[in-house]
Structure 1
Amino acid sequence: MRFDAERDRFLGYVRVNDGLSLNTVKSYGEDATELLHILELRGVEDLSTVTLADLRLWVSHESQGHARSTLARKIVVVRRFFAFLQDQGIIPTNPAAELITPKQSHELPRILTATQATQMMESAEHPVHELLSDTSSKERKGDAGGSRQAALEFRDAALVELLYATGVRISELVGLDIADIDFSRRTLRVLGKGNKQRVVPFGAPAGIALERWLEHGRPQLLVRASSDAVFLGARGGRLGVRQASDVVHREARKAGVPDISPHSLRHSAATHMLDGGADLREVQELLGHASLNTTQRYTHVSIEQLRHRYDQAFPRA
């Protein structure tokens, strides 16, 4: 691509000077690449000729199919990118300085009920159980993950089980390496925002799904023996955030539950932990929130659920 050098300089700068995690830098790179690709398609040959009108057209394009929070993040990255170009003397002025981020909705996040979450997990596990119960021959049973499609079934079940069981961010999940798993203690070591590590426990169902993936599925997709990634894509490389997000959406549709994003599944996990009696600070630690105020959003969700149950159950509500 024409502007690869400028993008790479920008990514190198924010990685070193802003202390961003590798996952965040990767996300910045994806957003910058999308913008630069569109500008190139529009015939832009020099970034110094980009105008505010060009960027507003890009915003209009990106607003179709993206949530306001996602669009806001993309705009922040683009403003940061052009500010960097100006600071480095690559462009004379910053055309993105006047880009306005969309107002964020203050609606409570969509979450699954505990019943719906269970339904989604069981639906994801169903093909796996069929593969494991296929006893037409001992060889076939021993090679339950023998096909690529079967391997993907094991992967997808482990992915949604682990995501819901831990409440980790999707970027943290796909960033896991084999060495980050401690099966004896049923914990994961994840790298969160600001390169902060934390240890997160997971339950027995997620542990079983993860073991099945590692035993039956992952070896079928692994093309490079040196790969340490826990979750792999169909071609054998580390699974990307967008691919993993597609898995969550697909499994939700398959289960017949409301279509949710990985972040909404994270919200669901946190809410169900609080509903089950977990302490707010414990949930804060599990989710890797820097501020308790962020975690308190989940108490609002729980209160809304309590009010709904009250309205349904109390005769004089």
Structure 2
Amino acid sequence: MAPAMDAKTSRISDDDRLLNMWLHNRSGNTARAYRADVGSFRQWADKPLADVVLDDLQGWFDCLKGSDATRRRKLASIKSALAFGVRVGFLDVDVGAALRLKRGRDRLSERILTEEDVRRIIDMEECPRKRVALRVLYFMGLRISEMCALTWRDMTRRQQGGVASVFGKGNKTRHVLVPAKLWKELVAVRADNWRPETPIVPGHDGSPLHLRAAHRLVKRAAKRAGLPDASAHWFRHAHASHALDNGAPAHVVQQTLGHSDLKTTTRYAHVREGDGGANYLKD
């Protein structure tokens, strides 16, 4: 006789089981974002994923609010979940495969701050703790969730500056340089009674800086500098663009940012005036 299901098991839907398998071993931030996207679609469709048809996906996508990039990201989440459901046998048909969108215009350049913009945002921030947070985002090129999660246990001192072990997207660890000046600034805002689990960028009370508080910190600093549209991720864009423009090898920037594909990194490269492939050929 098969064992009886307990109350908790009997209440979970097939869709919930599918999502739990799909999100297994993903990072906390990624899982929360994907679960929110799929939850929004399930609420709109009001039917099990097994009963979803192409019209449902098209109708949901057409009514989504937000930027084109945000709408496409949300759709990609749903398509990924549906494709996974087919691969593991939970769903019979991958209706998401039939929904294809025209490639959108690449607006990355609109989200890259100039070096002068970055300096102005940082210099206008009077609070040392908040200024350090902005400098960490820019000089280390971290995602805001990575910055909030960093503790002194992850930091290794070097003769000049140090190295941070960053646990990032895709559950991958990478080692990121901490410039000497930034290291001194981090030490300056560190509590006297610090421990290995002390955050490198603390909240106002010394506890870990919450993700929402970090976003507010950046938005307020950017607005103060006359750049109300800028977000924390724009500092990461700026790191990539400025490093490449100043001669950093693409593979070094790729490793710093944790890009799995070098093509993602080279999107930030700009052709300098008067430069071209011919300059690198022997005549």
Fold equivalence (TM over 0.5): yes
**Structure 1 residue 65, shift from structure 2 partner:** 2.0
Q: Could you tell me how far apart the structure 1 residues matched to 2:257 and 2:233 are?
A: 11
Q: Could you tell me how far apart the structure 2 residues matched to 1:4 and 1:251 are?
A: 44
Aligned to 2:7: none
Aligned to 1:148: none
Relative to structure 2, which stretch is displaced further, 81-90 or 280-289?
81-90
**Structure 1 residue 166, shift from structure 2 partner:** 0.9
**Which residue identity does 2:146 align to in structure 1?**
E
Q: Is the 8 A contact 1:75 1:101 kept in 2?
A: no
Aligned: 1:33 with 2:39: yes
**Other structure's SS at 2:135 match:** helix
Taking structure 1 as the reference length, the TM-score comes to 0.65
**Which residue identity does 1:59 align to in structure 2?**
F
Q: Could you tell me how far apart the structure 1 residues matched to 2:222 and 2:239 are?
A: 15
**Structure 1 residue 209, shift from structure 2 partner:** 4.7
**Structure 1 residue 89, shift from structure 2 partner:** 5.3
**Structure 1 residue 119, shift from structure 2 partner:** 0.7
**Structure 1 residue 103, shift from structure 2 partner:** 1.8
**Structure 1 residue 117, shift from structure 2 partner:** 0.6
Aligned to 1:192: 168
**Other structure's SS at 2:24 match:** helix
Q: How many residues align?
A: 260
Aligned: 1:272 with 2:242: yes
Alignment of 1:1-317 (within 5 A): 6-7=15-16, 9-15=18-24, 20-36=26-42, 38-39=43-44, 44=46, 46-62=48-64, 64-66=65-67, 68-87=68-87, 90-101=90-101, 103-110=103-110, 111-124=112-125, 126=126, 128=127, 154=129, 156-183=130-157, 185-215=161-191, 239-240=210-211, 244-257=214-227, 259-300=229-270, 303=272
Question: Are residues 6 and 108 of structure 1, via their aligned partners in 2, closer, same or farther at CA, if it must alter by over 3 Å?
Answer: closer
**Structure 1 residue 265, shift from structure 2 partner:** 1.6
Structure (1/2) with the larger helix percentage: 1
**Structure 1 residue 58, shift from structure 2 partner:** 2.6
Q: Is the 8 A contact 1:11 1:29 kept in 2?
A: no
Taking structure 2 as the reference length, the TM-score comes to 0.72
Q: Could you tell me how far apart the structure 1 residues matched to 2:52 and 2:227 are?
A: 44
**Other structure's SS at 1:103 match:** coil
**Structure 1 residue 121, shift from structure 2 partner:** 0.8
Q: Could you tell me how far apart the structure 1 residues matched to 2:53 and 2:22 are?
A: 24
Relative to structure 2, which stretch is displaced further, 92-101 or 163-172?
92-101
Deviations 1:237-283 (A, max 9, x none): 7633x654444333211221362233322121122223334333332
**Which residue identity does 2:262 align to in structure 1?**
L
Q: Is the 8 A contact 1:167 1:286 kept in 2?
A: yes
Q: Could you tell me how far apart the structure 2 residues matched to 1:213 and 1:52 are?
A: 53
Any gaps of 5 or more consecutive residues in structure 2?
1-10, 275-283
RMSD: 3.7
Any gaps of 5 or more consecutive residues in structure 1?
130-153, 220-224, 308-317
Aligned to 1:143: none
Question: Are residues 61 and 209 of structure 1, via their aligned partners in 2, closer, same or farther at CA, if it must alter by over 3 Å?
Answer: farther
Deviations 1:99-131 (A, max 9, x none): 33452323452322211111111122x1x15xx
**Structure 1 residue 164, shift from structure 2 partner:** 0.3
**Structure 1 residue 4, shift from structure 2 partner:** 7.5
**Structure 1 residue 231, shift from structure 2 partner:** 5.5
Q: Could you tell me how far apart the structure 2 residues matched to 1:79 and 1:272 are?
A: 34
Question: Are residues 263 and 7 of structure 1, via their aligned partners in 2, closer, same or farther at CA, if it must alter by over 3 Å?
Answer: farther
Question: Are residues 181 and 293 of structure 1, via their aligned partners in 2, closer, same or farther at CA, if it must alter by over 3 Å?
Answer: same
Deviations 1:120-178 (A, max 9, x none): 11122x1x15xxxxxxxxxxxxxxxxxxxxxxxx3x43322101011123343334244
Q: Could you tell me how far apart the structure 1 residues matched to 2:63 and 2:150 are?
A: 33
**Other structure's SS at 1:298 match:** coil
Q: Is the 8 A contact 2:122 2:131 kept in 1?
A: yes
